[in-house]
């Protein structure tokens, strides 16, 4: 007659059920997390501040059409690079066009 299995050899039904409950809960949490990510990361979803959430963050901010500001920025830099103007009028410091500055430096033999 075969021996009865020892108590230690038996499958612990309570542990199996708890394991199944934990796995099911993990699947539910993963599904809810995926749904939240899908809803919030969809195209057209606005992240960050908007009219309802308060003031805008400090600069620099992303621009919807940076081309206009870029053109103005480079125009101002070009004007400063190729034009005359004061750096500090009280101290008598001015800037001159870069081409003229290079000619003057070359005439002195490269000594500032």
**Which tens digit of pLDDT belongs to each residue from 77-97?**
999 899 999 989 999 999 999
Task: Give dist(CA 108, CA 104) in Å, integer.
Answer: 6
Coil, strand or helix: which one is 43?
coil
Q: Which residue has the higher pLDDT, 53 or 9?
A: 9
Q: How many CA atoms lie within 13 A of 19 on its CB side?
A: 6
pLDDT above 70 covers a percentage of the chain that reads: 78
d(CA 48, CA 58): 12
pLDDT in tens, 9-39: 678 889 999 999 999 999 999 999 999 988 8
Q: Which of 7-11, 66-70, 81-85, 104-108 has the least mean pLDDT?
A: 7-11
C-alpha Rg value of the chain to the nearest Å: 36
């Amino acid at each position: 007659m075969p021996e009865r299995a020892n108590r230690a050899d038996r499958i612990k039904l309570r542990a199996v059920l708890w394991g199944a409950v934990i796995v099911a809960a993990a699947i539910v949490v993963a599904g809810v997390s995926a749904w939240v990510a899908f809803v919030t990361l969809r195209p057209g979803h606005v992240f960050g501040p908007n009219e309802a959430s308060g003031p805008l963050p400090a600069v620099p901010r992303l621009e919807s059409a940076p081309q206009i500001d870029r053109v103005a920025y480079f125009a101002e830099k070009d004007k400063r690079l190729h034009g005359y103007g004061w750096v500090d009028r009280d101290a008598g410091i001015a800037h001159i066009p870069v081409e003229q500055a290079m000619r003057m430096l070359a005439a002195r033999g490269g000594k500032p």
